Structure formats: C-alpha cells, structure tokens
Amino acid sequence: MIREFGLIDVMYLIAAARWTIALTAVAFAGSAVLGLGLAILRILPLAPLRWFAATYIQLVQGTPLLVWLFLIFFGLPLAGISVNPWIAAAVAFSVYGSAFLGEIWRGALVSIAKTQWEAGASLGLSLGEQLRYVIIPQSIRIAIPPTVGFLVQLIKNTSLAAVIGFVELTREGQLTAAGTYKPFAVYITVACIYFAMCFPLTQWSRSLERKLDVAR
C-alpha cells in the first residue's frame, strides 16, 4: 500500500542519521589509531617498516571503499568468521580511512623543519620522545584542517554502508522511497540532512585554515 511522504518519515530519516554519526565516530576512531601508526612507520629509519606502511597505504587507497565493504562482509564468512553489517562497515571504513589519515599525518610530521628534530636529538631525547614532546605538538596545527576535511568525506562515504544492509541515513532513505514512491522528496530530505551534518564541519575546517595560517 502506497502512503504519503510526511513528517513521520522525516523523523525516521533524522533518527537514522544517528547511526550515520555513530558509524562515522567509530570509523574515525579506528582510522585515527591505525593512521597514526602508519604515519610513524612511514618516517622511521627502518626501511622494511617504511615499505610495509607505504605498500599498505597504496593498496588501500588504490582499492574502492565498496570493495573493502564486500570483502569484509561477504569474504570473512567464507573463512568461517561471521560479521554483521555494523561490524563490517566499521572495520571497512577504519581500514580505508587509516590510509588517508596516515598520509595526512605523515605529511604533517615531515613538514616540521629538520632543525627541530636535530634540536630534540641534541637534548638527548629518543625518537619517541622527540615525536611526543617536539614534533607531534607542532604538527597538530598543520594536520587539523585536512583531518576535519577528511571527517566530512567520511560522513558522506558512510552512505555506501547501505549496500550491505546497514540501516543508516541513506538506507533509511531507500526504504522510505520504496514505501512512499516519492524518491525525489525523500532524497532531497536525505541530502538536506547530510548537508546539515557536513556544512558546519566544512566551515570549521576553512576557519581553522585561516586561523592557524598553515600555509605560512
């Protein structure tokens, strides 16, 4: 039975957006942990570790996110590991995001002047201490704007989780459009909700770029 697209449907879409936000938060946290490790591996003086991190990043960045979703959701059960859509989406987005955050943060780390590294070494600091007390605090101001920009992209990319049945904003939009036969109205509403989530972050990112004056 066809029903009209009304306020109750809009409320369902807004409610589904909380799962978009939750997936984004979990995926960003996973991406951050893995990405920081990759960034550090990329600058270590040990060539095998640098090659490993570089190969991982190239492999992940060169593979569509949709493929990672399919590999984890459909591939792991073939190995006897059952995963639900939530876990599959969180893992896939964490793996995919780590490659991009790893490169963003590596760029921030290597942008610090070599003299800063030498100053830390002259004080007798180990490599870990140099990173902790000298390099990372300075690189944060450089890394924040592109990191926020990546977060905006991550929010929009969570829409791909709909293909494995994870009910977030886009999937709820598909279900609502199928029930109301009003796809234009439904997806305009979905677009507006995505815009409401992403626009403040986009403006914040631009504000940070101006405030921190990274380019100087």
Residue 114 lies in a domain: yes
pLDDT at 118: 77
Please state, in angstroms and rounded to a whole number, the distance separating the CA atoms of residues 152 and 192. 15
pLDDT at 1: 62
Provide the H-helix boundaries in the chain.
Answer: 7-43, 47-61, 65-70, 76-78, 85-110, 114-122, 127-130, 136-157, 169-180, 183-212
DSSP state of 181: S
Average pLDDT, the chain: 90
Residue 1 lies in a domain: no
Residue 215 has pLDDT above 50, yes or no: no
Mean pLDDT of 200-209: 83
Residue 146 burial class via C-beta count within 10 angstroms: exposed 0-12, middle 13-18, buried 19 and up:
buried
- CATH number (domain holding residue 40): 1.10.3720.10
Number of structural domains (the chain) is: 1
Of 144, 136, 68, the residue nearest 99 (C-alpha): 68
Residue 39 lies in a domain: yes
Q: What is the pLDDT of residues 131-170, one digit of tens each?
A: 888 888 888 888 888 899 899 999 999 999 999 999 999 9
Please state, in angstroms and rounded to a whole number, the distance separating the CA atoms of residues 206 and 216. 15
pLDDT at 212: 66
Residue 43 lies in a domain: yes
Q: Which range of residues forms the domain containing residue 164?
A: 7-212
Q: What is the pLDDT of residues 81-122, one digit of tens each?
A: 888 999 999 999 999 999 999 999 999 888 888 888 778 888
Residue 100 lies in a domain: yes
Q: What is the pLDDT of residues 32-89, one digit of tens each?
A: 999 999 999 998 888 999 999 999 999 999 999 999 999 999 998 888 888 899 999 9
pLDDT at 166: 93
Please state, in angstroms and rounded to a whole number, the distance separating the CA atoms of residues 101 and 39. 8
Residue 106 lies in a domain: yes
Residue 2 lies in a domain: no
Mean pLDDT of 12-34: 96
Q: How many CB atoms lie within 10 A of CB 13?
A: 20
DSSP state of 45: S
Q: What is the pLDDT of residues 169-192, one digit of tens each?
A: 999 999 999 989 999 999 999 999
Residue 173 lies in a domain: yes
Please state, in angstroms and rounded to a whole number, the distance separating the CA atoms of residues 138 and 118. 15
